[in-house]
Amino acid sequence: MTRLPDVSWPGGEWPADVRLLSGAEMPRDPQSGTLPRHEVRVRPTLATWPRGEILIEASPIPGLPANGAAATFMYGSTEHGLISRLDDGSLAVAVSDDSPSWSDPHFVELCVVAARETSTDQRDFGVGLLGYGAIGAEHARAILGTPGLALAGVCDPKPERIASALGLAPDAHVHQSAESLLEDPSIDVVIVSTPPDSHAHWARLALAHGKNVVVEKPMALTTRECDAILADAAARGLLASVYQNRRFDSDYRLIADSVRSGEIGDVFHVEAFVGGYGHPCNYWHSDADVSGGALFDWGSHIVDQILDLIDGEVDSVSALNHKRVWHDVTNADHARMTLHFSGGREATFIYSDLAAALKPRWYVLGTRGAMTGDWRQASVVSRSAIGTLEEDVLAAADSPPIVRRHSTSGDVATLAARDSEAHPFHADLALALRYGFTPRVRGEQSRRVVAMLEAAEESARLGGLPVKPA
């Protein structure tokens, strides 16, 4: 057997405690007849592995007990060990040591997961919730439903919110102050769910206390604040990420998959819309000094999706804000921003509280087709306390759009909604904390989102002139 040298994977360098059974040491299996390098389908048995099935090259490991397998694959109707623990405590991997599988980052991640999963350190990472507002219960349920995470503490000034948190996690520590939560030794990562104008303050303070940090969107209100957060995290070797949960929306995943598959050709024009006609909410979301403004509030979701969808540099951003009807709040009533990418591609986001007629949620043009996401008007029917049926019409933004692919011949296909991953952001967080993997939502990506929004607000102040993002 040979020792696998230090390997490269998306999370950085890790001296892998994995040994290889080379091709010469792996005879043809007498039952299955498989040879080394036979392509099979991996079935990871690890609860923390969110990627699903992947193809790699492998063959059975003769003589290794099935209960010793850390990961397995199916050949025919038989399950074989892919990565197994040997008598000396090392791990055997059923691929030849020159296999191209080692260049597949997903396979290397699987090996690292298997190695770490068989270690003795299987503790859960404690999560502290700093603020338990509208998003608090969502985080709490996701933490409780994600292997490797535990809800360790919560801090919020409102007793009813604390009661709600304890209803889900009775053993969580209740903290009367943010400083107390940050000093709690059972907390490894702090989720900052305070209003946006305080994100940078609390994120940097948490990092100073040695805590990993997840910040609600937007990361902060300026790129200068974002840079300070990222610099603090890097200096301390800690994680700093942002809860860009809309990256995992089913409608967006359908759009992104079609774009990346090349089904509609080269995408050159994207429009995204959120809104309706009605008074903005009266909470801090509509206070521009606190939220950053209308573009920051919803744009931090949509711009993140756009930047994930379209590769390339953004040369400039142009934007306009309208203040025409709702003068009792400081956010714009209607806002538009356009990202001008290198090579001439462009993407526009509109948020409006003055839209009596809705535009499509998505309108994507490619050289060989198009994608649309049309709002569906959903409602919930319930029975009142006196027995009558009542219908509540949901806001369009609360219902997933109907996604359609349009061909150049005029054919239109409605795409079936994808099954959603269970708590994908929090599953990534657990992998990052336990194994050092790079999460799909990275802090520098969210910093780039803020750069676009910051440039948009500057452009709006200049009457729509293009501004180069920082």
Backbone angle region of 33, left / alpha / beta, with phi > 0 → left and psi within -120 to 50 → alpha: left
* Cis-peptide, bond into residue 401, ω within 30° of zero: no
Whether 202 and 262 share a structural domain: no
Please give the pLDDT value at position 287: 94
pLDDT tens digits, the chain, 470 residues: what are they? 233 333 333 333 333 333 434 333 444 444 443 333 322 333 333 334 333 333 344 444 444 444 444 445 444 444 444 555 555 555 555 554 455 555 555 556 656 655 555 444 567 999 999 999 889 999 999 999 998 899 999 999 999 999 999 999 999 999 999 999 999 999 999 999 999 999 999 999 999 999 999 999 999 999 999 999 999 999 999 999 999 999 999 999 999 999 999 999 999 999 999 999 999 987 899 999 999 999 999 999 999 999 999 999 999 999 999 999 999 999 999 999 999 999 999 999 999 999 999 999 999 999 999 999 998 765 555 555 555 666 555 555 556 799 999 999 999 999 998 777 789 899 889 988 887 778 889 999 999 999 999 999 999 999 999 999 99
Q: What is the pLDDT of residue 175?
A: 98
Among the three residues 83, 117, 151, which one is the final residue of a domain in this structure? 117
User: Are 235 and 101 part of one and the same domain?
Assistant: no
CA angle 438, 212, 439 (to 5 degrees): 15
Looking at residue 439, what is its pLDDT?
A: 86
Residue 412 lies in a domain: yes
Which residues form the domain of 44?
2-117
H or E segment to which residue 295 belongs = helix 294-309
What pLDDT, on the 0 to 100 scale, is given for residue 291?
A: 96
Do 439 and 294 sit in the same domain of this protein? yes
Of 117, 136, 151, at which residue does a domain stop?
Answer: 117
Same structural domain for residues 269 and 208?
no
Question: From the CB of residue 237, how many other CB atoms can be counted at a distance below 10 Å?
Answer: 8
CATH classification of the domain holding 316: 3.30.360.10
Question: Taking the model in full, what pTM does it have?
Answer: 0.78
What single string gives the DSSP state of each residue in 437-460?
PPPSS-HHHHHHHHHHHHHHHHHH
Give the model's pLDDT for residue 375: 87
Residue 468 maps to a domain = no
Quick check: is 469 in a domain? no
* C-alpha to C-alpha distance for 20 and 9, rounded to whole angstroms: 17
- Same domain, yes or no: 238 and 294: no
* 8 A C-beta contact, residue 320 and residue 460: yes
- Whether 80 maps to a domain, the answer reads yes
Q: Does residue 42 contact residue 82 with C-beta atoms inside 8 Å?
A: yes
Structure tokens at 208: 């100073």
Same domain assignment for residues 167 and 267: no
Instruction: Give the angle subtended at the CA of 14 by the CAs of 12 and 18, to the nearest 5°.
Output: 140
Is residue 214 a part of any domain in this protein?
yes
Q: Which of 208, 243, 278 is the last residue of a domain?
A: 243
Same structural domain for residues 410 and 300?
yes
* Per-residue pLDDT, 3: 35
Q: What length is written for the chain?
A: 470
DSSP string, 225-294: HHHHHHHHHHHHT--EEEE-GGGG-HHHHHHHHHHHHTTT-SEEEEEEEEE-BSPPPSSGGG-HHHH--H
Residue 147 half-sphere exposure toward CB, CA atoms < 13 A: 8
pLDDT at 104: 59
Asked if residue 333 is part of any domain, the answer here is yes
**Same domain as 257, residue 129:** no
- Are residue 373 and residue 433 in the same domain, yes or no? yes
Tell me, yes or no, whether 198 and 270 share the same domain: no
Domain co-membership, 411 together with 263: yes
Q: Are residues 233 and 253 in the same domain?
A: no
pLDDT at 107 (0 to 100) = 59
Closest CA to 212 of 122, 149, 137, 140: 149
φ, ψ for residue 242 (rounded to 5)? -130, 140
Domain-embedded: residue 466: no
Q: Are 91 and 18 in contact (CB under 8 A)?
A: yes
Q: Count structural domains, the chain.
A: 3
Asked if omega into 424 is within 30° of 0 (cis), the reply is: no
Which phi and psi (to 5°) does residue 128 adopt?
-110, 135
Instruction: List the one residue out of 127, 329, 286, 139 whose CA is nearest residue 216.
Output: 139
Q: What is the CATH number for 198?
A: 3.40.50.720
Is residue 98, in this structure, part of any structural domain at all? Answer: yes
